[in-house]
Structure 1
Amino acid sequence: MKFSLSWLKDHLDTDADAAAVAETLTRIGLEVESVDNPAEALRPFTVARVLTAERHPQADKLQVLSVDIGDGEPLQVVCGAPNARAGMVGVFGGPGTYVPGSDFTLKKAAIRGVESNGMMCSARELQLGTDHDGIIELAADAPVGTSFADFAGLDDPIFDISITPNRQDCMGVRGIARDLAATGLGALKPLKVPAIEGSFDNPVAIRTDDPEGCPAFFGRTVRGISNGASPDWMQRRLVAAGQRPISALVDITNYVMIDLGRPAHAYDLSELTGAVSARRAREGETVLALNGKQYELDSSMTVIADEAQVHDIGGIMGGEHSGVSETTSETLLEIAYFTPENIARTGQKLQLTSDARSRFERGVDPAFLDDGLAVLTGLVLDICGGEASRVTRAGQLPVTPKRIAFEPSKAASLAGMEVAEAEQRAILQRLGFEFDGKDVVVPSWRRDIDGGADLVEEVTRIVGFDAIPSTPLPRASGVARPTATRGQLAERRVRRAAAARGLDEAITWSFIAEREAALFGGSAHALANPISEEMKHMRPSLLPGLVAAARRNADRGAASIRLFEVGRRYQADGERPTVGLLLAGDKRPRGWQSGKARPFNAFDAKAEALALLDAAGAPVASLQLSMGAGDAWHPGRSATLGLGKNMLAAFGELHPRIAKALDAPVGTMAAEIYLDAIPAPRSADRARPAFSPPLLQAVSRDFAFLVPENLSADTLIRAVRGADKVAITDARLFDRYEGEQGLSLAVEVRLQPGEKSFTEAEIAEIGKKVVAAAEKLGAQLRG
């Protein structure tokens, strides 16, 4: 939100400069984005008098001026403004001066063969308005040669502050002034509300047929008006706030919205038919809004309509048909209260934002309708003239006083700050709170205040968070115990291991589209107020987000994509800590390794999954592999790793249907590791055993088996490893060959002697056990 220092001082009696105001605003939670002074850009421009004006010899629409800039030596300037004439006083920019409205720097030039030493400037060229039909005309007694910025009083810093969603009261300059007054920076000036009784009955019937969406709707007619340009002071303030001046009536409604945080609307009475009401839109109704776009409405949306058509998307934007123009002589001024939740839903559906919506969906002051309409009417009468009717009020104001028990001791217990009770009361009273016995009555403009903790926050931010003393937490004697849980430690180890293996960490949204969630079994949780329809459901899998990240990388030319994410899946019974990883593109040799690039395959995903499972503390040596990982995976190129029925991970290639739906890069491989399924180690609560390296060198023996085609290598390895659990410490597959005899799997078996070396007879006996274990599975030792 933007406003100028002089505008702020209309409500705040203070001598503070811009720097002091900015520092105080940020200190109390109204973060200052920037402070700009338009005078700095306009200081090179000076007040100048046109001495003579002659027609350009080579152009009928140009004049050659002689301009006095106050240094005694007139300058020759070529000018195309129709109002340029001898004797007038205007604004001059010389060579080397930057013109902000046109974005160029002036220089001495020849225009149609005549030298020009600068230019006389229009309001638009100096960003002081939209007028570009002629140059600025100043009073005849304006001091020639002085800085135009100083003469025009443009030394008025402009603040741009960020308003958090809970501070609806600060969506107007007066609310910001109230906060500053509470800090002691100045005193809040009384708000001047004119008493306008009205001289005739309102000729327009007003009602609200949608008390849920628009509980209260006030209005009055003003006739005999002249809707010309708004005053210069108002235009300058609106420009400072980022608004474009349009006409007096429009500018007045915008000014009241920014000044008091109270949106309002002005209708051209001649364009209305019969009674005006706030009602629900009918299915299929449309409205052409003031932004020139047509919007289709539905029955959940509140509109302002007459007996012929819809004229306004209630609380968001007016319609073009009944908008005021320069010919408007009678206007209906509307000021209403719209339910914040209804405004937010309508704005999201229509994808329509506006200054009015940003205020109504936060919640404007429901008790300010009468005073707001009086201020609005007073400005219309002062600027446009005319005669006002009496006010028509429809509906009931949703004003229910909120009371909260005042407990001064909470400032110390909740905020760690000792603040005297008298000071707490004074701060709250300056913020508009009232006291009734032991209760605090919350002002109608603070719908964000719900309990005693909110009162503490108000006191604390006004006193200053930097005043909270730094107090160390009590520390127990002795050696500090670890605070991280087993799950947190596992996540840390997995994250480090994945990074060490060359995977890049991704952080994706926990919200996905319904169609994406449906691919992985559907979502158990839908958001009531999502960012968008594409981010409405909590993810049942990490893979949709990783696929989207991989696709973005592939679209930008990445040839080898290796991503992982440590996050949460959301199931019906709660959150599930999960690791997702994705491989796409080509597997390329890293570092000193040599070899050609090749596409990733399911075994690459398995290798990464096993490595991360090992880092997480899973008993990798005991894991069982089962073919097929579920409907989301390729039926012949995926598998699971688990302990019995407890599945710890799934890996492989995505199902072609899902890969196509997600637009996954060709050949994408993935894995998901379910950290919550990893069992706690049996020795988790016992001391770690002493390190005892073997005294003797290990022995390895190779076995080649002819196996049935349906026998998995994992099953064979597990059987071989279990043939002698004392002597055999490891077994691994090192070769696969398919020839005339059938399928052959070669296994390396590692034997570890204990107190003495193995004899040949002992090794032969262990070999017989290995062969016997394999034969039980239908395998035969290859000759």
Structure 2
Amino acid sequence: MRAPLSWLREYAALPAEVTGRDLAAKLIAAGLEVETVETADITGPITTGRVLAIEELTEFKKPIRWCQVDVGNPEPQNLICGARNFAVGDVVVVVMPGAVLPGGFAVGARKTYGKLSEGMICSLRELGIGDDHDGILILPGDTAVGLEAIELLGLRDDVLDIAVTPDRGYCLSIRGVAREAATAYGVAFRDPAEIEVADEGASYPGAVADPAGCDRLVLRRVRGFDPAAPSPLWMRTRLHRAGMRPVSLAVDVTNYLMLELGQPLHAFDAARLTGTITVRRAREGEGLETLDHVKRTLDAEDLLITDEAGPLSIAGAMGGLHSEIGDASTEVVIEAAHFDPVAIARTVRRHRLHSEASYRFERGVDRELPLRASLRAVRMLAELGGAEVVPGATVVDAPVEPVTITIPVSHPSRVAGVEYSRETVVRRLEQVGCTVEGDDPLTVTPASWRPDLTDPNDLAEEVIRLEGYDAIPERAPRPAAGRGLTPRQRLRRRVGRVLAATGHTEALSYPFVAEKDWDSLQLPADDARRRALRLANPLSEDEPLLRTTLLPGLLRTAARNLGRGQSDLALFEIGVVFRPGRTTGAKRGSAESDLGGPGVAPRTGTHTGAVPVYPVDRAPTAEQIAAIDAALPHQPQRVAVLVAGEAERSGWWGKGRAGGWQDAIQAARAIAAEAGTELRVVADRHAPWHPGRCAALYAGGVLVGHAGELHPRVLQAYGLPPRSAAAELELDHLDATHSPVAPHVSTYPVATQDVALVVDAAVPAAEVESALREGAGELLESLRLFDVYTGDQVGEGRKSLAYALRFRAADRTLKAEEATAARDAAVARAAELTGAALRG
């Protein structure tokens, strides 16, 4: 909303010294968003002058005139001008040498076309009060010569550009902004809508077929209107400064009153109307060509203004081309109405037909304005366009119950933490137009121009903002004892820290996926992860599903980084996935349920659980929270890791190391370690991983995730480099109550024993390691696989695994015999469980 300061002063008695920037600071303090204050950079001398003589200079390629203009000086001013729309005797605006026009254009005396031009004669655009540059601005013939034009035409005016939030639709008018300005300065406010309305009888036939969409329709009529009558300069100037283009008197009047009062109006050519004007919904097959020359197919939910011949306009948005005011319109019908904001918002979004009118109707318009705004419109058409006002007005009303709000006097104080007296609360509510009754609690009836005031918190906000947000003291919040992060929140943060510390970068993806992602991930047809929830109103039709795994978003993020030259990546994401239905007990940890896999018939559809809606003026009860939770899909929290490119960089120091399945499994182990859990790694086949390079990860007997090298077809589908690896774990299956404890550092020396075991090639090294740990006992401090050998020395179908075992006691130095006994026990257990034999 662009609001010229001079226009605001008409209705708010602001002190003379107040500038646009001063007012902007006050309005910002009151909660409005003033984005900019524009000040016309224009300086004089600029004066009025009467044209005394015109000499046509014909020796040039274009018509040039040398004019003598009386500006009140003893000698006339000599001026060169190329415009043709003025004549001897006309009063024009003359810019004298030394003046500066908007845009920093300095004017001086100069010789041009063989003559000395002492200044210039100006158009509207050059003066900064219009867009017309086709000709010179001609003032009324009775304008005195030698007047200071800056004050006469209001050339120097501050314009406030206000970003009006959706709850303050009343500020989309000079009336609303002036009211806020008057309140901010504590000065008198004169309401431009306060005019006496005493019309009797109908003016033009009208009806409302849909009271839910339109609860008030007002029609007034004028006849004998002069369609050639120009809009006065002051009106065109204000429209220009408010950001609207002058069109014609009838249209300019409706636009002017919309800006001043906030009530959109529409002017119809009565000669083009057929029968009763009716507000109704569109019918099947109807269409309308709007004023922007677009032929629109109407929807059954569209609210229309029609006559007996069909649609005249899309209600609250734009008129139709057929009933447009034209050069021959002498009888005009003014329509003013109060429409349902939701109906208008849906219509304009459906047709992408946003306009100044719809912008106001969507945010709520004063229901009492149609009577007053339409009366002012016909009076202005009579005054400026020579029309005769047809007595009476057609008013079609649907009864609307006034809104009343009960609020304790102490409620604003509780919200702000500042004590407000009853007198302060009542005074501030009355300043925003409310009627207040009662002692405590108060019964408040909001003004018709404040449809946004619907509950006690809205009223508390009005009191607080008018008293000043800066009056609220700064105090540190007082946390309740015993509250803080939950164990699961702490685990999530520890996991994020350990992954970041090991070189991974966190990625945040939208939780939306497409059905093609399931094919790109090579998921089987009966995989449970294909059973996804479909959004009723997706942000993008290409991704209408909620994710059941974190991998698609992480893979797309990696591909986007690779496309921008980042070839070596280690990414992770922590977030929830959405699984239709709920799983409990043993099934919750199975591959067929939370972690995907075969066994559940795939289904894609909108979640059918009905989520209950509760009021927001109080906290929900435990039963209400349980009802909401029961209606939601299961949302386990996951962490996923992706490694692509080099894990260790190449350089002058030598060749680097490509990241692979080892890094993905190690990241999973680091995650589990934060929950005090040691993972058991078992070979598995699970999409989207490579069937021979995939590991299932178990914590105890519970499957918590998978890790390994991704399938080549998956890498090709997402454009990732070969051998890229990933891991995905479910954090809900890890112990969040575990608190990390610093390890005991023994002061006694370590005893190291190496063993090389020969096993069948099909035996996983993880099983051998597990057996060694089990057999070694408490003295084992660490175990590391440092060599794998296959060849003639161990035989075909066999492999040798070499391990380094470190033994240490916390209270003594181990003897060689103790370390050897622990090693032999470990080897014996490995032989028992895996068939391992010491390599000779």
Q: TM-score range by the shorter chain?
A: 0.7 to 0.9
Number of aligned residues:
764
Could you list the per-position Cα deviations for residues 169-228 of structure 1 after superposition, in whole angstroms to 9, with x for gaps in the alignment?
Answer: 32322223333444453222133455566798545x433333333344333333332345
SS at match of 1:361: helix
Matched-pair contact (CA < 8 Å) for 1:302–1:313 = yes
How far is the alpha carbon of 1:325 from its aligned partner?
3.0
| Alpha-carbon distance in structure 1 between the residues aligned to 2:544 and 2:559 | 21
SS at match of 1:12: coil
Structure 1 residue identity aligned to 2:646 = K
| Alpha-carbon distance in structure 1 between the residues aligned to 2:379 and 2:734 | 72
Matched-pair contact (CA < 8 Å) for 1:193–1:374 = no
Cα pair distance change 1:172/1:679, threshold 3 Å: same
How far is the alpha carbon of 1:511 from its aligned partner?
6.1
How far is the alpha carbon of 1:604 from its aligned partner?
4.1
How far is the alpha carbon of 1:428 from its aligned partner?
0.9
SS at match of 2:138: coil
Aligned to 2:83: 81
Aligned to 1:453: 457
Structure 1 residue identity aligned to 2:211 = P
Could you list the per-position Cα deviations for residues 333-352 of structure 1 after superposition, in whole angstroms to 9, with x for gaps in the alignment?
Answer: 22223322233333333344
Segment drifting more, 461-470 vs 359-368? 359-368
Cα pair distance change 1:207/1:735, threshold 3 Å: farther
Of 90, 94, 108, 2:93 maps to 90
Q: Does 1:763 align with 2:809?
A: no
Could you list the per-position Cα deviations for residues 690-712 of structure 1 after superposition, in whole angstroms to 9, with x for gaps in the alignment?
Answer: 83425112415253544344x44
How far is the alpha carbon of 1:434 from its aligned partner?
0.8
| Alpha-carbon distance in structure 1 between the residues aligned to 2:533 and 2:839 | 53
Matched-pair contact (CA < 8 Å) for 1:53–1:65 = yes
Segment drifting more, 311-320 vs 431-440? 311-320
- When normalised by structure 2's length, the TM-score is 0.78
How far is the alpha carbon of 1:433 from its aligned partner?
0.9
Q: Does 1:320 align with 2:324?
A: no
Structure 1 residue identity aligned to 2:209 = D
| Alpha-carbon distance in structure 2 between the residues aligned to 1:657 and 1:375 | 72
How far is the alpha carbon of 1:432 from its aligned partner?
1.0
User: Where does 1:566-715 land on structure 2 (aligned, <5 Å)?
Assistant: 566-570=574-578, 572-573=632-633, 576-583=636-643, 586-587=645-646, 589-590=648-649, 594=653, 601-614=660-673, 617-619=674-676, 621-625=678-682, 627-629=684-686, 639-644=695-700, 646-651=702-707, 670-681=726-737, 691-693=744-746, 695-703=748-756, 705-709=758-762, 711-715=763-767
| Alpha-carbon distance in structure 2 between the residues aligned to 1:417 and 1:199 | 51
User: Where does 1:67-466 land on structure 2 (aligned, <5 Å)?
Assistant: 78-83=80-85, 89-92=92-95, 100=103, 120-138=121-139, 148-194=149-195, 201-203=202-204, 205-228=205-228, 229-283=230-284, 285-389=286-390, 390-394=392-396, 396-397=398-399, 399-437=400-438, 438-466=442-470
How far is the alpha carbon of 1:324 from its aligned partner?
2.5
Could you list the per-position Cα deviations for residues 699-751 of structure 1 after superposition, in whole angstroms to 9, with x for gaps in the alignment?
Answer: 15253544344x44434433333332323333344455666724636343322
Aligned to 1:723: 775
Matched-pair contact (CA < 8 Å) for 2:219–2:394 = yes
SS at match of 2:775: coil
Q: Does 1:748 align with 2:752?
A: no
Cα pair distance change 1:381/1:137, threshold 3 Å: closer
How far is the alpha carbon of 1:655 from its aligned partner?
7.2
Matched-pair contact (CA < 8 Å) for 2:262–2:360 = yes
Q: Does 1:5 align with 2:24?
A: no
| Alpha-carbon distance in structure 2 between the residues aligned to 1:544 and 1:337 | 49
Could you list the per-position Cα deviations for residues 274-330 of structure 1 after superposition, in whole angstroms to 9, with x for gaps in the alignment?
Answer: 443333334554433333444443323323334444343322333334332333333
Cα pair distance change 1:66/1:218, threshold 3 Å: closer
| Alpha-carbon distance in structure 2 between the residues aligned to 1:53 and 1:524 | 81
Segment drifting more, 305-314 vs 455-464? 305-314
Matched-pair contact (CA < 8 Å) for 1:53–1:85 = no
Segment drifting more, 354-363 vs 486-495? 486-495
How far is the alpha carbon of 1:57 from its aligned partner?
1.9
Structure 1 residue identity aligned to 2:804 = V
Matched-pair contact (CA < 8 Å) for 2:649–2:655 = no
Cα pair distance change 1:682/1:122, threshold 3 Å: closer
SS at match of 1:187: coil
Matched-pair contact (CA < 8 Å) for 2:777–2:822 = no
Segment drifting more, 669-678 vs 326-335? 669-678
SS at match of 1:256: helix
| Alpha-carbon distance in structure 1 between the residues aligned to 2:557 and 2:253 | 48
| Alpha-carbon distance in structure 2 between the residues aligned to 1:374 and 1:278 | 20
Segment drifting more, 457-466 vs 132-141? 132-141
How far is the alpha carbon of 1:463 from its aligned partner?
0.8
Structure 2 residue identity aligned to 1:29 = G
Aligned to 2:22: 20
Cα pair distance change 1:604/1:263, threshold 3 Å: farther
Matched-pair contact (CA < 8 Å) for 2:683–2:695 = yes
| Alpha-carbon distance in structure 2 between the residues aligned to 1:191 and 1:236 | 19
| Alpha-carbon distance in structure 1 between the residues aligned to 2:832 and 2:352 | 69
Segment drifting more, 491-500 vs 68-77? 68-77
Matched-pair contact (CA < 8 Å) for 2:45–2:99 = no
How far is the alpha carbon of 1:543 from its aligned partner?
4.7
| Alpha-carbon distance in structure 2 between the residues aligned to 1:421 and 1:552 | 60
| Alpha-carbon distance in structure 1 between the residues aligned to 2:108 and 2:571 | 56
Aligned to 2:61: 59
Segment drifting more, 413-422 vs 770-779? 770-779
- When normalised by structure 1's length, the TM-score is 0.83
How far is the alpha carbon of 1:557 from its aligned partner?
4.1
Q: Which runs of 5+ in 1 are unaligned?
A: none
Cα pair distance change 1:761/1:426, threshold 3 Å: closer
User: Where does 1:728-739 land on structure 2 (aligned, <5 Å)?
Assistant: 728-735=780-787
| Alpha-carbon distance in structure 1 between the residues aligned to 2:182 and 2:534 | 45
Aligned to 1:34: 36
Q: Which runs of 5+ in 2 are unaligned?
A: 522-528, 580-631
How far is the alpha carbon of 1:404 from its aligned partner?
2.0
| Alpha-carbon distance in structure 2 between the residues aligned to 1:362 and 1:52 | 54
How far is the alpha carbon of 1:423 from its aligned partner?
2.1
Matched-pair contact (CA < 8 Å) for 2:782–2:807 = no
Structure 1 residue identity aligned to 2:93 = G
Cα pair distance change 1:144/1:231, threshold 3 Å: closer
